[in-house]
Amino acid sequence: AQSVTQLDSHVSVSEGTPVLLRCNYSSSYSPSLFWYVQHPNKGLQLLLKYTSAATLVKGINGFEAEFKKSETSFHLTKPSAHMSDAAEYFCVGGFQKLVFGTGTRLLVSP
Amino acid sequence: GAVVSQHPSRVICKSGTSVKIECRSLDFQATTMFWYRQFPKQSLMLMATSNEGSKATYEQGVEKDKFLINHASLTLSTLTVTSAHPEDSSFYICSAPYGATEAFFGQGTRLTVV
């Protein structure tokens, strides 16, 4: 069965510093992997997706993620955090029926 | 990109009443839609898979008689929370698959049962 594990429930960074949100997956086959962002009381917005075309995936708002099969990881990064990046981030796996990680709350301080 | 519209975005109802939530794919057809529930500070959990023209498939532990799902057309799925109780208060969100590898989400519905 597929599972997605987000290693950190909270990540705190200062504005302008790099962001790293960690995600590991388990699957018996190469999965589709996604990162979604959820701002307070809002729906989900797709940041980026991996579908086996390229291991380094660039998304919106300067985010990117690298699929590493040897490490079964799909960590989300951004070189420089902005205050508006503060939100809940979900690593998601699967095809049409999605499996959500538990989420990582990103806090950005001035 | 494709759009999924969910309505209402927020609803407060009295205990014992029923609430209907609509999920529409605005510019594409969706033979399948998914309904998720998110409790405060928790992740999203799949409740059920809505299938156009046939019965919904419910995940283990989800009461099908309490959460009625109707997928009457290729663009509309509805979730009705029947005889709502305070413990049903949650954030409900739908998604519709688009192509083989993508899903679009509705804006979500925050249900508060008082």
The answer to whether A46 faces chain B, any CB pair under 8 Å, is yes
Contact (CB<8Å) A103/B45:
no
Q: Each residue of A29-69: pLDDT tens digit?
A: 667 899 999 887 677 888 998 877 788 999 999 999 999 98
The pLDDT value given to residue A36: 92
**What is the Cα–Cα distance from B104 to B106, expressed in whole angstroms?**
7
**What is the Cα–Cα distance from A68 to A24, expressed in whole angstroms?**
9
Which residues are registered as beta bridge partners of A5? A24
Q: Each residue of B53-65: pLDDT tens digit?
A: 889 999 999 999 9
**What is the Cα–Cα distance from A4 to A6, expressed in whole angstroms?**
7
Distance from CA of B100 to the nearest CA of A (A): 7
Task: Indicate the Cα dihedral angle B26, B56, B34, A27, nearest 10°.
Answer: -140
Which residues are registered as beta bridge partners of B44? B38
**Mean pLDDT in residue range B88-111:** 87
**What is the Cα–Cα distance from A70 to B50, expressed in whole angstroms?**
36
Which residue is associated with the tokens 């987000």?
A: A6
Judged against a pLDDT cut of 70, whether residue A71 lies above it is answered with yes
The answer to whether B108 faces chain A, any CB pair under 8 Å, is yes
Q: Which of B45, B101, B110 sits opposite A95 (nearest CB)?
A: B101
Distance from CA of A44 to the nearest CA of B (A): 6
Contact (CB<8Å) B108/A49:
no
Contact (CB<8Å) B107/A95:
no
**What is the Cα–Cα distance from B61 to B45, expressed in whole angstroms?**
11
The answer to whether B60 faces chain A, any CB pair under 8 Å, is no
What phi-psi label fits residue A105: left (phi over 0), alpha (psi between -120 and 50 degrees) or beta?
beta
Q: Each residue of B63-76: pLDDT tens digit?
A: 999 999 999 899 99
Interface test with A, best of B102, B107, B110, B111 (most A CBs within 10 A): B102
The pLDDT value given to residue A109: 97
The pLDDT value given to residue B97: 86
Structure tokens at A26: 């388990």
Distance from CA of B49 to the nearest CA of A (A): 8
Structure tokens at B111: 């249900």
